[in-house]
Amino acid sequence: MEVLTLGEALVCFSRPTDPEEAARGRYVRSMGGAEANTAMGLARLGHDVVWASMLGDDPLGEYVLDTLAGEGVRTDHVGRSATRPTALMLKERRGAHDTAVTYYRRDSAGTELAPGHLDEAVVASARRVHLTGVAIAIGEGPRALVHETAERAAAAGVTVSFDPNFRPAIISEADASNEYRRVLASTDELLCNETEARLITGEADLDAALDALAALGPSTVIVKRGADGALVLHHGERRVVPAHPAPNPVDPVGAGDAFNAGWIHARLAGLGLDDSLALAAFVAAQVVQHPGDYEGFPDADAVAAFVAARDIQQPRDIRTPSLTPSETA
């Protein structure tokens, strides 16, 4: 097993962007979930990935399993709940940069995740463990499992990456900050956005936030900034990384998960820092140009072509300008 991840999957019903299709009341079925998205992206790139979860013993749960199997994700550690349903979300794309999502996840099967769901030996057998703050937010059991898994992975010398994926509708800022800080003590690589960087550290200045985040444990801190690229602090080295062009954006949901998949793939492939960051940005740019959370993930051939054609340029190793929240909103 190269990558182990855990969390909740949701079946997604999206209104078509075509006005005539939307007027007929038709919805397109797909699936999402931060950890599942990243798992599918990695599997599409040829990695052995295990996604652990709980699903309802219902048709939607079967759909999730079938979708993951079709993408090559292993579901050896997915349980089925007899009393709680598979989670749902409804998505409406109002424009290239405006997608409204409504979640139906209260008391879903995913909330039955709890410590002990993954054996210590299973965690130790992975090359990497990828975790997110969504599982932390959906319930006490999943939250405890995230902490248990992170601590077990760190103790076994397994590389841990963490994306807070802050969801203000299901976790308060105070609780989120406390829980994220606890996970960061066992984290090697933090992949967050600007809001999360400031939330965790209390620093309005992103340059100061990078330092404060690294002081909490991670040797690599990546602050994703969408079309503005990313800020990086890697073993004391700073990088300002541009975004990869996405000339035809369709759906921004899942872009961060795609960036994570590209980054993890690149590190597993042994690429250097600069190439890894460029590849992560490339993967994210492909996903936002397709409807759905994961459908736009490139395959291994597309990524290999990007790596082969890449004109390698050294990013500037500088401190970033001081940025206030208003300047980066």
pLDDT class of 314 with cuts at 50, 70, 90:
very low
Tell which residue, 126, 70, 81, 89, has the closest CA to residue 9. Answer: 89
Note the pTM of the prediction, 2 decimals. Answer: 0.87
Q: What is the pLDDT of residue 113?
A: 98
- CA–CA dist 202, 163 (Å, integer): 18
pLDDT class of 292 with cuts at 50, 70, 90:
low
261, with CB counted inside 10 A (0-12, 13-18, 19+), is buried
- CA–CA dist 285, 298 (Å, integer): 10
Cβ 220 vs Cβ 235: under 8 Å = yes
27-69, pLDDT tens digit by residue? 888 888 999 999 999 999 999 999 999 999 999 999 999 999 9
- CA–CA dist 172, 178 (Å, integer): 10
Cβ 180 vs Cβ 164: under 8 Å = yes
User: Any catalytic annotation for residue 257?
Assistant: yes
Cβ 118 vs Cβ 65: under 8 Å = no
119-142, pLDDT tens digit by residue? 999 999 999 999 999 999 999 999
Average pLDDT over residues 273-291: 78
Catalytic annotation, pick one of 119, 257, 274, 317: 257
151 pLDDT higher than 60: yes
Distances (CA, A) of 139 to 18, 124, 221, 264: 37, 25, 26, 27
Give the position of tokens 């059991």: 141
Of the CA atoms within 13 Å of residue 3, those in its CB half-sphere come to 33
Cβ 45 vs Cβ 287: under 8 Å = no
Q: Which of 5-9, 86-90, 201-205, 324-328 has the lowest mean pLDDT?
A: 324-328
What percentage of the chain has pLDDT greater than the value 70?
83
